[in-house]
């Protein structure tokens, strides 16, 4: 009897013992940060020990000095040029893929007729068409936006169409039995149901949009990070080219996380259960 009262002085639950690896898994930030820093340290040490020339692989410290090759306003101008094209192409891809996806989801006829064409367009290597598009559309924003659009729109169409078709047929029957106008079936049932799918498409496409912007800058541009990297390599200034690359990576990550954040803030119900 005394043993019992001693064993349960409070109502604190008894937790299972955790091993180190189990505890590390529960720390979502620590582990990736550790990996990342380890790679940087290995990289730095490796390039120094083996005396790797900086045009082959500059050490992280050399890349860091590469950021100083250009002053801040110039960096911002380059970043803004790339970001602008990426966002415009991305926006165009969203605006154009939505009606196409609705058409494909609603009409079997349209989907049979249009889908092969979409696949053909997707199969065209955009990098190869980019010079042609520049010649056709000139050297202003238009060709760059078109190239970005072409790279980023296909995953959007596919994910939106899949999402719009993922609606339970019962709800479509409910909608029909209520004799509601067609547009409300789209806005009140199909589109909200497609939200998780749309967001996975949006996440894939935002990083593709950055790639599209860079590709277009490779072909014809006088500013932008893509232009900066190409210019730097042609001048054999590899560390600053790497600095540009690091900025592109950061830009993609920030854009991707922004899309995730929008989903978490405004559409929390559309997240998979485990990540809530």
Q: In the complex, which residues of this chain contact another protein (CB under 8 A)?
A: 168, 170-171, 173-180, 184, 188-189, 192, 195, 267, 269-270, 273
Report in angstroms how near the CB of residue 118 gets to another protein at its nearest.
Answer: 24
| Residue 12 or 183 having the CB closest to another protein | 183
| Residue 171 or 220 having the CB closest to another protein | 171
Helix H segments across the chain?
2-7, 20-25, 30-49, 60-66, 72-106, 108-123, 126-137, 141-165, 169-177, 182-184, 191-219, 225-234, 238-266
| Residue 116 or 168 having the CB closest to another protein | 168
Question: Cα(232)–Cα(178) distance, rounded to whole angstroms?
Answer: 63
Question: Cα(105)–Cα(190) distance, rounded to whole angstroms?
Answer: 10
Report in angstroms how near the CB of residue 106 gets to another protein at its nearest.
Answer: 17
Task: Confirm if 101 and 164 have CB atoms less than 8 A apart.
Answer: yes
Report in angstroms how near the CB of residue 88 gets to another protein at its nearest.
Answer: 30
Q: Could you tell me which residues come within 8 angstroms of residue 152 by beta carbon, excluding any fewer than 6 positions away?
A: 89, 90, 93, 205, 206, 208, 209, 212
Report in angstroms how near the CB of residue 26 gets to another protein at its nearest.
Answer: 24
Q: How far is CA 177 from CA 103, 180, 181, 184, 186, in A?
A: 22, 8, 11, 13, 15
Question: Cα(27)–Cα(156) distance, rounded to whole angstroms?
Answer: 33
Report in angstroms how near the CB of residue 202 gets to another protein at its nearest.
Answer: 17
Question: Cα(62)–Cα(68) distance, rounded to whole angstroms?
Answer: 10
Q: Could you tell me which residues come within 8 angstroms of residue 271 by beta carbon, excluding any fewer than 6 positions away?
A: 196, 263, 264
Angle at 33 between CA 28 and CA 37, to 5 degrees: 165
Two structure tokens written together for 252: 């993609």
| Residue 52 or 271 having the CB closest to another protein | 271
Report in angstroms how near the CB of residue 276 gets to another protein at its nearest.
Answer: 9
| Residue 48 or 184 having the CB closest to another protein | 184
| Residue 218 or 267 having the CB closest to another protein | 267
Report in angstroms how near the CB of residue 270 gets to another protein at its nearest.
Answer: 7
| Residue 12 or 179 having the CB closest to another protein | 179
| Residue 37 or 180 having the CB closest to another protein | 180
Question: Cα(75)–Cα(273) distance, rounded to whole angstroms?
Answer: 41
Report in angstroms how near the CB of residue 170 gets to another protein at its nearest.
Answer: 4
Question: Cα(191)–Cα(209) distance, rounded to whole angstroms?
Answer: 23
């Amino acid at each position: 009897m005394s043993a019992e009262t001693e064993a349960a002085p409070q109502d604190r639950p008894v937790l299972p013992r955790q091993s180190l690896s189990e505890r590390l898994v529960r720390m979502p930030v620590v582990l990736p940060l550790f990996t990342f820093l380890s790679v940087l340290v290995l990289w730095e040490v490796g390039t120094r020990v083996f005396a790797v020339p900086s045009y082959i692989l500059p050490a992280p410290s050399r890349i860091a000095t590469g950021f100083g090759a250009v002053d801040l306003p110039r960096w911002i101008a380059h970043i803004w040029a790339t970001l602008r094209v990426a966002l415009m192409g991305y926006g165009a891809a969203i605006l154009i893929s939505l009606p196409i996806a609705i058409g494909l989801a609603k009409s079997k006829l349209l989907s049979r007729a249009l889908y092969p064409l979409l696949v053909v367009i997707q199969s065209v290597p955009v990098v190869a068409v980019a010079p042609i598009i520049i010649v056709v559309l000139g050297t202003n924003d238009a060709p760059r936006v078109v190239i970005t659009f072409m790279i980023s729109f296909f995953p959007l169409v596919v994910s939106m169409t899949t999402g719009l078709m993922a609606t339970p047929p019962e709800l479509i029957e409910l909608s029909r039995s209520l004799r509601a106008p067609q547009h409300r079936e789209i806005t009140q049932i199909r589109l909200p149901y497609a939200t998780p799918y749309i967001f996975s498409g949006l996440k894939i496409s935002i990083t593709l949009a950055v790639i599209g912007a860079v590709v277009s800058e490779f072909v014809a541009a006088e500013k932008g990070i893509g232009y900066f990297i190409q210019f730097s390599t042609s001048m054999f200034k590899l560390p600053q080219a790497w600095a540009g690359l690091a900025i592109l990576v950061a830009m993609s990550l920030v854009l991707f996380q922004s899309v995730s954040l929008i989903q978490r803030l405004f559409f929390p119900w559309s997240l998979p259960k485990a990540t809530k």
